[in-house]
Amino acid sequence: ETGVTQTPRHLVMGMTNKKSLKCEQHLGHNAMYWYKQSAKKPLELMFVYSLEERVENNSVPSRFSPECPNSSHLFLHLHTLQPEDSALYLCASSQGQLASTDTQYFGPGTRLTVL
């Protein structure tokens, strides 16, 4: 148990659906991240939030919309996705760059399938 939880663990959706992924961290961290993990590709960083402010957006399509209402919660809102968006979506948290050493702790991921 790393203190980072994600729901749902599995999600199947059609291209016209709207759904949201949720991440919660119980570690008192200040930074949270969304990653996309596809087969045979490196982990792709999507978004970084530090102290609830978005500090990184790696050219992610607008059909992915993050929300960070507080330092413990992170959402990824999905709408009009494409089949190529099917992947494992991982959430992570860390103390943030102000920490002298920093490690990211990962959640179990949400396996997303877009039909």
Interface pattern 40-59 for other proteins (x via CB under 8 A): xxxx-x--x-x----xx---
Complex with other proteins: residue 35 or 64, whichever CB lies closer? 35
Of 70, 69, 64, 71, the residue nearest 21 (C-alpha):
64
Nearest-5° angle of CA 92, CA 32, CA 82?
75
Complex with other proteins: residue 9 or 18, whichever CB lies closer? 9
Peptide bond connecting 69 to the previous residue in cis, omega within 30 degrees of 0: no
- Locate 78 and state its tokens: 């999905």
Shortest distance in whole angstroms from residue 12 CB to other proteins: 17
Residues that bind other proteins (CB under 8 A): 2, 31, 33, 40-43, 45, 48, 50, 55-56, 90, 94, 96-97, 101-109
